[in-house]
Every structure is written in C-alpha cells, then in structure tokens.
C-alpha cells in the first residue's frame, strides 16, 4: 500500500491539502519501469527500443487506437528511418516514393517554380516516402507490442504524480480513474504538452512558436494523379507553396501526393491567425480556388478535413527536456525542423530509450542520470540541425513580409522578363529595376538580404 501523504501532483512547493491523491486512488493499477504517454511516432519508437532492451513498458494512448486523431499523410526521410528500422519499406505500408520536389512562389495569378526530378531518388536506400499517418502510427505501435510493450488505448492521462520533485507515476481520468507507477515517465503527448505544463515542468508555449495547419485529403484515381503531376506509377511529388497561400503573412502550404489522393495543407503561427483575423478554413478554400491549384484538384472528392498544432519555434523554443524521472520527446519537446518532423520525433524516442536503459542498469532515475538523453540529442543531427536553423523563426517575426513581398517581387521580375516590349534591352532592364525599387527600396532590400544571409550561414 502506497502512503498517500507522499504522492503529490506538483513537483514544487504547494499546499499539500489541495494536492494529495484521494484515498480511493491509493491502490496502483500497475508498476512499470517506464510509462510513455502518447503512441505517436516518438512514443511508440521509444516503447519499441525500451522493450527491446528488456524494460517493462506501458504505452498509454488517448485515442481508441494509435493515429485515430491524425488526418491525412506526411512524408518520412528514408535514411533516418532505415537506421532505426532497417528495410522498413518492406514492412510499412507506404504510398509513393518521392522523386519530384518542387517549390512554388505564388501570387494571385502566377507561379514562379523550381522543380527537381530524378530517378536516382527511387533507388535504395531511397530518399523520402509519402505515408498515411494512421498506417505509420499503427505500424510503430505494433512493433512496440511485438517487442513486449503494453499498449492501452482510450486512456487519457490527466496528471503526473510526484514524490517530492521525483516523478513516480501518472493518473488517468474517467472512465478508468486509475493511477500507474513507474521509475520513468516519458511525455510524448504532442505539441503543447498540457501534462508538462500542468506539472510546472515547462512554461505555456507562446502562440508565436506554435503553428496551426489545416488540411484536406482529396481522393483522385492514381492514373489521374500521375498524369497531372507528370509522375511514373508509384512515384510521388511534394510541392512547397509560399506567398499567396497565407494571404500576405509568413507561413507555408504544401501539396503531397499519395496512391489515390492528394493532401493539401496551409498554416501559420497561432499568433498570426489571431492578429490577422484570418480563418484557417478560409485560407484553405482560397488556396483551392487558385488558378494553378484548382486544375490539380478538379473532380476530386474531399475525404478528410483536419487540423494540427505544430511547434515551430525552433531551437530557442525547446523547453527543458529532462527532469527528475521525466523526459520530453517528439512534438512535446518542440523537436520540429522543416521537413524533419516525424523523423526527429522517432530519433528522440530512440535516445530516450538509451537513457532509460542506462538509468535502469544504474537504478538511478535522477535528472542527472537521465541527462544522457539530452547529451545524445545534442551530439546527434537532431539538435545540430535545429541549432543550425536557430534564428529562422525569429527572422520571420522580424521580417513579417518576407514570404509575401519577395514572392511578389520575384513573380513581377519573371513576368517582366517574359513580357515582350517594343523597347531596347537596356531600357527594359532599367524599367524592371524601377518596378522592383517601387516595391521595396534598395536600402531595405539590401538590409533584408543581409539579415537572411546571416541566418543561413551562421
């Protein structure tokens, strides 16, 4: 029987009378080496590698099954995934092998694009695959179960339990209303980890550092997708969209192709939505009506509509990841860096497993011992990539017109070059220069260019 007087919900000094477990809660539902909250890519990867090393692991998922709350698909980096799960492409149900990467800088009536296609990207060990999130989440969870982890679905963890400052378990809300004990708690509960915030482990995430994306999955026949995107069977395209999609505010959109559907998404920071008054679904509908997007989606049926919060504050927005008995991984740790989202999450799960195993061997679950997780992150490409792009988020705040203005200037330049005038070439060059200067003075253009260059080469 656990002494209820020493089980508190907060790790810092609080009035004990307000924060002790009730008598009815003092019979634990189980004791584990590790409890992982959230069966997404980070949580399931952590559970798999921990279970492989013989740890007794409980994986708690809020939804009825892993991926139940996810919408549409994403892309994963083949090399990074292959190092964790060799030849994963033989097991995981993937959609298309990405051989076409494009970027579109858009205005209301034009597109300036760059496109790279290569058959070399379709050769092992490949480059990127598009996948349906639900397939990835279920596959990772099944691997964790096969390794020996216990998965409990429909379990909403409401709070962490502490003995002093040391985390010792979690409590679930109705209908279970139980608590489970463990030596280590791993939080993989997604962006804006309310559990960590409630336990005073992290501060509330700033709306400047959290982005909201909305997306639709639009069903089309495979042959139609391949014709419209000029793809061979089984090959896929990813298109990054900038400028017009976010209505004059820094943000991004993208198109991803799957076997028999297209995913279209658009998003920007929560703060930008609040300040601009733009509604997410209106941005998506506006983008779908663009003259160069509409033909790609023609006759398609909308199968899914959803939204997701993504931590995009970068390196400087990463919270403290290690606490006595607790590690934060994946989106809960703000480990997102451009195309590296899911893969950074999976690697953070792997590193947390290494730290958990070392702590178990030493029978030491202190913050100092678990700090191995932070060390492994710091020494890996995960933190090094994030550090290399550390100032990108702040740059977009400092230059709020970056994507919109310079996209319009690039398209205006391309238009004027393409337009045939009855004037000498030298006069035309001067005319184009005057056009650009009217949009942005040379002094400010040079200043912005230097600010961007400093961020890129730091």
Q: Which of 127, 187, 453, 149 is nearest to 323 (CA)?
A: 187
The confidence band for 456, taking pLDDT boundaries of 50, 70 and 90, is: confident
- Residue-level pLDDT at 388: 87
- Residue-level pLDDT at 6: 33
Q: Which of 406, 408, 409, 452 is nearest to 434 (CA)?
A: 409
What is the arithmetic mean of pLDDT over 229-240? Answer: 96
Residue 434 backbone phi and psi in degrees, to 5: -65, -35
Burial (CB count within 10 angstroms: exposed 0-12, middle 13-18, buried 19+), residue 163: middle
More confident: 30 or 218: 218
Close Cβ partners of 70 (under 8 Å, ≥ 6 residues apart): 133, 134, 137, 306, 308
Chain segment 14-44, per-residue pLDDT in tens: 333 234 344 335 578 889 999 999 999 999 9
Mean pLDDT rounded to a whole number for the chain? 91
Chain segment 286-335, per-residue pLDDT in tens: 999 999 999 999 999 999 999 999 999 989 999 999 999 999 999 999 99
The confidence band for 117, taking pLDDT boundaries of 50, 70 and 90, is: very high
Going along 188-259, which residue ranges are E strands? 210-219, 235-243, 252-257
Strands 179-187 and 166-172: antiparallel
- Residue-level pLDDT at 287: 97
What is the arithmetic mean of pLDDT over 71-96? Answer: 94
State the sign of the Cα–Cα–Cα–Cα dihedral 201, 205, 206, 208: positive
Q: Which of 71, 453, 98, 403 is nearest to 241 (CA)?
A: 403
Residue with tokens 């009815």: 24
* DSSP per residue, 53-104: TT--EEEE-SSSSTTTT--SEEEEEHHHHHHHSTTGGGTS-EEEEEEEEEEE
- Residue-level pLDDT at 457: 77
Token pair in block for residue 68: 């139940």
- Residue-level pLDDT at 284: 96
5 pLDDT above the threshold of 50: no
- Residue-level pLDDT at 339: 63
pTM: 0.91
Domains and CATH numbers, the chain: 4-62+154-204+317-388 (3.50.50.60), 93-131+210-311 (3.30.9.90), 393-457 (no CATH)
- Residue-level pLDDT at 362: 97
Chain segment 342-363, per-residue pLDDT in tens: 999 999 999 999 999 999 999 9
Q: What proportion of the chain, given as a percentage, has pLDDT over 90?
A: 83
Lowest mean pLDDT among 256-260, 276-280, 346-350: 276-280
Chain segment 407-446, per-residue pLDDT in tens: 999 999 999 999 998 899 999 999 999 999 999 999 999 9
Lowest mean pLDDT among 5-14, 97-106, 153-162, 264-273: 5-14
- Residue-level pLDDT at 20: 36
159 pLDDT above the threshold of 50: yes
Give the total residue count for the chain. 458
């Amino acid at each position: 029987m656990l002494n209820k007087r020493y089980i508190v919900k907060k790790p810092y000094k609080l009035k004990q009378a307000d924060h002790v477990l009730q008598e009815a809660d003092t019979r634990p539902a189980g004791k584990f080496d590790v409890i992982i909250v959230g069966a997404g890519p980070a949580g399931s990867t952590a559970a798999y590698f921990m279970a492989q090393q013989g740890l007794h692991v409980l994986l708690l998922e809020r939804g009825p099954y892993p991926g139940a709350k996810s919408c549409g698909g994403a892309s994963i980096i083949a090399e990074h995934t292959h190092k964790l799960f060799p030849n994963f492409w033989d097991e995981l149900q993937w959609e298309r092998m990405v051989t076409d990467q494009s970027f579109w800088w858009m205005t209301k009536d034009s597109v300036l694009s760059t496109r790279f296609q290569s058959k070399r990207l379709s050769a092992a060990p490949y480059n990127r695959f598009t996948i349906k999130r639900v397939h990835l989440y279920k596959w990772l969870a099944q691997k964790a179960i096969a390794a020996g982890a216990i998965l409990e679905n429909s379990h909403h963890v409401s709070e962490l339990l502490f003995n002093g400052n040391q985390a010792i378990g979690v409590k679930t809300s109705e209908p279970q209303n139980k608590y489970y004990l463990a030596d280590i708690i791993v939080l993989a509960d997604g962006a804006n980890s309310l559990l960590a915030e409630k336990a005073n482990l992290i501060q509330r995430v700033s709306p400047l550092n959290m982005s909201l994306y909305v997306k639709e999955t639009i069903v089309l026949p495979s042959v139609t997708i391949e014709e419209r995107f000029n793809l061979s069977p089984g090959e896929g395209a990813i298109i990054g969209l900038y400028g017009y999609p976010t209505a004059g505010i820094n943000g991004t959109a993208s198109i991803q192709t799957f076997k028999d559907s297209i995913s279209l998404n658009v998003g920007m920071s929560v703060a930008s939505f609040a300040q601009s008054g733009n509604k997410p679904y209106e941005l998506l509908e506006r983008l779908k009506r663009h003259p160069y997007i509409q033909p790609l989606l023609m006759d398609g049926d909308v199968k899914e509509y959803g939204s997701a919060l993504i931590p995009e504050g970068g390196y400087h927005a990463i919270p403290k990841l290690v606490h006595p008995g607790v590690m934060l991984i994946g989106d809960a740790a703000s480990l997102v860096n451009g195309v590296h989202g899911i893969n950074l999450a999976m690697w953070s799960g792997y590193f947390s497993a290494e730290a958990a195993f070392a702590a178990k061997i030493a029978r030491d679950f202190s913050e100092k011992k678990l700090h191995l997780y932070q060390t492994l992150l710091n020494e890996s490409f995960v933190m090094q990539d994030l550090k290399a792009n550390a100032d990108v988020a702040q740059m977009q705040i400092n230059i709020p017109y970056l994507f919109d203005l310079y996209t319009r200037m690039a398209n205006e330049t391309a238009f004027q070059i393409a337009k045939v005038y009855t004037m000498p070439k030298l006069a035309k060059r001067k005319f184009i220069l005057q056009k650009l200067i009217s949009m942005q003075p040379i002094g400010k253009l040079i200043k912005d260019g230097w600010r961007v260059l400093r961020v890129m080469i730091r």
